[in-house]
């Protein structure tokens, strides 16, 4: 991108690989993306596409047997392979993450107020008293009802949605410049979801927070994201501005994804079409384009030669035969 | 937590009552009686003896009398140690047995937990293999092998500790028995701790703790350790039972005047009151340890307090 943009996070050629007893698993393959201050990138793709793995790698939170290659820079500072102590100072403070599974992501034996306050004690040198008072405000900000009472409750006393909001409060405690949110609103009902999303939006606008939003919900992407990256089998198959991708997807997978997902803004008579077949197993990479077995087009070239990402119509697309604008079947 | 504690405590008394009652009648089911082996005893003298100890009364009456005695701490007279009451015998031996038992459990936790944690943190390194190798040995080797071995090494060859025996006020006599008793428990606790800590370290909430930028020490001690100790605490109940039975062996190997021998001798001699006294005391100790384990468990894991 242009150097005028101040990128908060730059990911370059990121790969994550596991050597397991039954063969190597390529969870993430050669992903590059950038997120600027105040910007949101939506990361979409089917289950197992490598969305969580890619950003856990950025956080330095992968299992010890993960082999990570590439670069990830937070405001110019390299994160991968960085000194653990320096990394700790960033994590939870400048760089925060909301995890996918709220039911198991909180410590069962610590009251939630202290789980929030702890971040402030560690990073902001607050006393526990100050930090707990601040935790109350953070809970209220995350739309937790009856927040004062929640402070002294244990996670098992809270519903999944409440725990999700506690996770959000923890992540936002130190005003991160970069927030990674892995399905942050899945456990929430629609009205709370809207409130959380507007909170995230406000933080992006007012404080210039950058947001990587991992989600299955294209409606959420449409409402919040500036950019979208579509992951398939560990690779980015298409990325670009949200308007372009949702209106005129160039990659057949993006188009299929759009057809398969229910959207509030889609015409009611538009049928939902599930994507046939399965994504390739990360244990057995297939030759050619990873999407070709499920692609309607797939001429012979697609079965032998893997398409590289290239610029088409202002987006990055990895497809030998991208859909032209006129061919777009989806009307928005 | 208070409600949970009261609930647990109130469960102990009925359990102890059931244990005592069941033992009382089961012991009487075994053939023979306390005055049987002295073959030369004429029937009328035997009858007199039995009358003197109340053994001629119906079993239910004897049971009622025994229970009334227990309420005021009277375990009745011993049938075989003729000049002693069971209360006196137990009061003599129990301090030693209790000391080595408690010390062994304590030592096992103090050594076993850090060893297990170390093995987990240094997974698949020489320290891990060393600790786990030791644990396998510790579990496999019985006390009557380790005890004499220790006595040989530390008592005879090195001469730093007494081989056996006991003199009151001389704690060095208790060192080898305690270590012998603790060794298998150390080994078991180390293995338990390692396994459960490894699992907890892989859990999502530890990942959250690391994502918060906490130091490895803080992650370990504040977030991982407490949940990881749950299986260890559950093991405390069985561990007490193990130490209680293990102390029988260890006390006889090292010639300690504890209570262990009374249980064996009492059972062989059909010394009803002595066996009952031992069952009451060991039953109470085991229940107490289980109670402590339950309370600890409730403290470690808030979820169980609400069940
Ligand atoms: N420790 C590991 N060892 C081997 N393979 C792993 C490991 N962790 C993850 N994977 C593999 O990495 C791939 C990507 O997983 P990831 O969790 O990133 O998917 P995702 O896109 O986040 O999916 P979802 O939408 O279900 O969250 C999966 O195929 C998974 O099996
Ligand atoms: Mg995921």
CA distance A12 to chain B (A): 22
CB contact under 8 A, A122 and B205: no
Condensed to tens digits (0 to 9), the pLDDT of residues B99-110 reads 899 999 999 999
How many CB pairs lie under 8 A apart between chains A and B? 71
Cα B23 versus chain centre, distance:
18
From the CB of A51, is ligand 1 less than 6 Å away?
Answer: yes
CB contact under 8 A, B214 and A92: yes
Cβ-nearest to B204 among A91, A105, A119: A105
Query: Could you write out the DSSP letters of every residue in B256-267?
Result: --SSHHHHHHHH
Residues 6+ apart with CB under 8 A from B306: A156, B4
Condensed to tens digits (0 to 9), the pLDDT of residues A184-229 reads 988 788 888 888 898 899 989 998 999 999 998 888 899 999 999 9
Q: What is the pTM of this model?
A: 0.86
* Ligand in nearest proximity to the CA of A46: 1
Q: Which two tokens stand for residue A126?
A: 């607050």
pLDDT at B112 (0 to 100):
96
Give the Cα separation of B9 and B287 in Å (integer): 10
CA distance A325 to chain B (A): 42
Nearest CA in chain B to A92: B212
Measured in degrees and rounded to the nearest 5, phi and psi for residue A65 equal -90, 5
Residue A54 alpha carbon, nearest atom of ligand 1 = 18
pLDDT at A30 (0 to 100):
94
pLDDT at A267 (0 to 100):
62
pLDDT at A168 (0 to 100):
94
Mean pLDDT of chain B: 88
A330 has pLDDT over 70 = no
From the CB of A97, is ligand 1 less than 6 Å away?
Answer: no
Q: Which residues pair with A180 in a beta bridge?
A: A97, A212
Please state the rounded mean pLDDT for residues B256-279. Answer: 86
pLDDT at A263 (0 to 100):
60
Residue A258 contacts residue A218 (beta carbons within 8 Å):
yes
Please state the rounded mean pLDDT for residues A61-85. Answer: 94
Terminal CA-to-CA distance of chain B, rounded, Å? Answer: 11
Measured in degrees and rounded to the nearest 5, phi and psi for residue A141 equal -60, -35
CB contact under 8 A, A156 and B303: yes
From the CB of A180, is ligand 1 less than 6 Å away?
Answer: no
| Residue B241 in contact with partner chain A when CB distance is under 8 A | no
- A1 Cα to the center of ligand 1, angstroms: 29
Top pLDDT among A326 and B13 is at B13
Percent of chain A with pLDDT over 70: 93
| Residue B307 in contact with partner chain A when CB distance is under 8 A | no
Mean pLDDT of chain A: 90
Q: Report domain extents, chain A.
A: 104-175
Residue A33 contacts residue A67 (beta carbons within 8 Å):
no
Report ipTM (2 d.p.): 0.90
Condensed to tens digits (0 to 9), the pLDDT of residues A236-262 reads 999 999 999 998 899 999 999 888 876
Q: Which residues pair with A23 in a beta bridge?
A: A20
pLDDT at A45 (0 to 100):
92
* Ligand in nearest proximity to the CA of A181: 2
From the CB of A26, is ligand 1 less than 6 Å away?
Answer: no
Q: pLDDT band at residue A264, thresholds of 50, 70 and 90? A: low
For B202-229, where are the alpha helices, taking DSSP H only?
204-211, 216-218, 225-228
A292 has pLDDT over 50 = yes
Residues of A in contact with B210 (CB under 8 A): 61, 91
Cβ-nearest to A107 among B202, B209, B211: B209
B39 has pLDDT over 70 = no
In 3D, which of A156, A99, A149, A88 has the Cα closest to residue A122? A88
A328 has pLDDT over 60 = no
Condensed to tens digits (0 to 9), the pLDDT of residues B199-225 reads 999 999 999 999 999 999 999 999 999
What Å distances lie between residue A55 and A40, A99, A153, A241, A302, CA to CA? 14, 10, 30, 20, 29
Residue A135 contacts residue A169 (beta carbons within 8 Å):
yes
Give the Cα separation of A158 and A144 in Å (integer): 10
Percent of chain A with pLDDT over 90: 66
- A270 Cα to the center of ligand 2, angstroms: 28
Residues of B in contact with A87 (CB under 8 A): 213
What Å distances lie between residue A2 and A5, A105, B129, B169, CA to CA? 6, 38, 54, 83
Condensed to tens digits (0 to 9), the pLDDT of residues A94-140 reads 999 999 888 999 999 999 999 999 999 999 999 999 999 999 999 99
B41 has pLDDT over 50 = yes
Residues of A in contact with B208 (CB under 8 A): 99, 105-107, 167, 170
Terminal CA-to-CA distance of chain A, rounded, Å? Answer: 28
CA distance A240 to chain B (A): 29
For chain A, where are the alpha helices, taking DSSP H only?
51-59, 84-90, 112-124, 128-141, 147-150, 160-172, 190-207, 218-224, 242-247, 252-260, 300-304
B146-165 burial by CB neighbour count: b if 16+ within 10 A, else e? bbbebbeebbeeeeebbbbe
* Ligand in nearest proximity to the CA of A49: 1
Residues of B in contact with A170 (CB under 8 A): 208, 212
The CATH fold assigned to B86-306 is MetI-like fold (1.10.3720)
Give which of A56, A65, A104, A105 to mutate to test B binding, by max B Cβ within 10 Å.
A105
Condensed to tens digits (0 to 9), the pLDDT of residues B42-72 reads 778 878 877 877 788 888 999 999 999 999 8
Place of tokens 């035997």: B46
HSE-CB at A30 with a 13 A cutoff on CA atoms is 4
H/E element, A236? strand A235-241
pLDDT at B170 (0 to 100):
84
A1 has pLDDT over 60 = no
Q: What is the DSSP letter of A158?
A: S
Q: pLDDT band at residue A314, thresholds of 50, 70 and 90? A: confident
pLDDT at A5 (0 to 100):
66
CA gyration radius, chain B: 24
Residues 6+ apart with CB under 8 A from B59: B25, B28
Q: HEC profile for B222-241?
A: HHHHHHHCHHHHHHHHHHHH
Give the Cα separation of B59 and B76 in Å (integer): 15
A4 has pLDDT over 60 = no
Residue A234 alpha carbon, nearest atom of ligand 1 = 14
pLDDT at A325 (0 to 100):
59
């Amino acid at each position: 991108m242009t150097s005028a943009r101040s990128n908060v996070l730059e990911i370059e050629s990121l790969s994550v690989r596991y050597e397991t007893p039954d063969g190597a698993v390529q969870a993430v393959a050669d992903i590059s993306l950038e997120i600027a201050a105040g910007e949101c990138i939506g990361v979409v793709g089917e289950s197992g596409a490598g969305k969580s793995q890619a950003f856990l790698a950025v956080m330095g939170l992968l299992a010890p047997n993960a082999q990570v290659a590439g670069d990830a820079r937070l405001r110019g500072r390299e994160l991968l392979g960085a000194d653990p102590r320096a990394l700790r100072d960033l994590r939870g403070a400048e760089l925060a993450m909301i995890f996918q599974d709220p039911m198991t992501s909180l410590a069962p034996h610590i009251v939630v107020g202290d789980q929030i306050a702890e971040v402030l004690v560690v990073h902001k040198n607050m006393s526990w008293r100050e930090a707990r008072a601040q935790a109350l405000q953070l809970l209220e900000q995350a739309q937790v009802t009856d927040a004062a009472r929640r402070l002294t409750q244990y996670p098992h006393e809270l519903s999944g949605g409440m725990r999700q909001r506690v996770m959000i409060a923890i992540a936002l405690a130190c005003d991160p410049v970069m927030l990674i949110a892995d399905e942050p609103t899945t456990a929430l009902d629609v009205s709370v979801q809207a409130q959380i999303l507007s909170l995230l939006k406000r933080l992006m606008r007012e404080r210039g927070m950058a947001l990587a939003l991992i989600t299955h919900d294209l409606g959420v992407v449409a409402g919040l994201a500036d950019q979208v990256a579509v992951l398939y089998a560990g690779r980015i198959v298409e990325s670009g501005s949200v308007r372009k991708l949702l209106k005129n997807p160039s990659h057949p997978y993006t188009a299929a994804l759009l057809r398969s997902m229910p959207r509030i803004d889609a015409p009611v008579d538009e049928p939902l079409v599930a994507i046939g077949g399965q994504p390739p197993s990360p244990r057995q990479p297939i030759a050619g384009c990873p999407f070709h077995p499920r692609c309607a087009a797939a001429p012979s070239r697609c079965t032998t030669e893997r398409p590289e990402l290239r610029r088409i119509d202002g987006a990055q697309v990895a497809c030998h035969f991208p859909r032209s604008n006129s061919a777009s079947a989806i009307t928005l | 937590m208070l409600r949970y504690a009261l609930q647990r405590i109130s469960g102990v008394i009925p359990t102890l009552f059931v244990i005592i009652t069941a033992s009382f009648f089961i012991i009487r089911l075994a053939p023979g009686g306390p005055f049987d082996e002295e073959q030369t005893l004429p029937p009328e003298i035997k009858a007199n003896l039995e009358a003197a100890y109340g053994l001629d009364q119906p079993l239910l009456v004897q049971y009622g009398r025994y229970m009334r005695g227990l309420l005021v701490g009277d375990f009745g007279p011993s049938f075989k140690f003729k000049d002693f009451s069971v209360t006196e015998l137990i009061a003599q031996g129990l301090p030693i047995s209790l000391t080595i038992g408690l010390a062994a459990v304590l030592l096992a936790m103090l050594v076993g937990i850090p060893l297990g944690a170390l093995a987990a943190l240094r997974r698949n390194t020489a320290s891990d293999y060393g600790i786990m190798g030791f644990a396998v040995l510790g579990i496999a080797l019985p006390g009557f092998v380790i005890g004499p071995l220790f006595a040989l090494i530390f008592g005879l060859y090195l001469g730093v500790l007494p081989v056996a025996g006991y003199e009151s006020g001389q704690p060095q006599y208790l060192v080898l028995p305690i270590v012998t008793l603790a060794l298998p428990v150390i080994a078991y606790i180390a293995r338990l701790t390692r396994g459960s800590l490894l699992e907890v370290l892989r859990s999502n909430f530890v990942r959250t703790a690391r994502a918060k930028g906490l130091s490895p020490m803080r992650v370990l001690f504040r977030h991982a350790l407490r949940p990881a100790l749950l299986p260890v605490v559950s093991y405390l109940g069985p561990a007490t039972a193990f130490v209680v039975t293990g102390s029988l062996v260890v006390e006889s190997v090292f010639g300690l005047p504890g209570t262990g021998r009374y249980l064996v001798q009492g059972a062989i001699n059909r010394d009803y009151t002595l066996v009952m006294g031992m069952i009451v005391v060991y039953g109470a100790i085991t229940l107490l340890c289980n109670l402590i384990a339950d309370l600890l468990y409730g403290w470690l894991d808030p979820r169980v307090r609400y069940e």
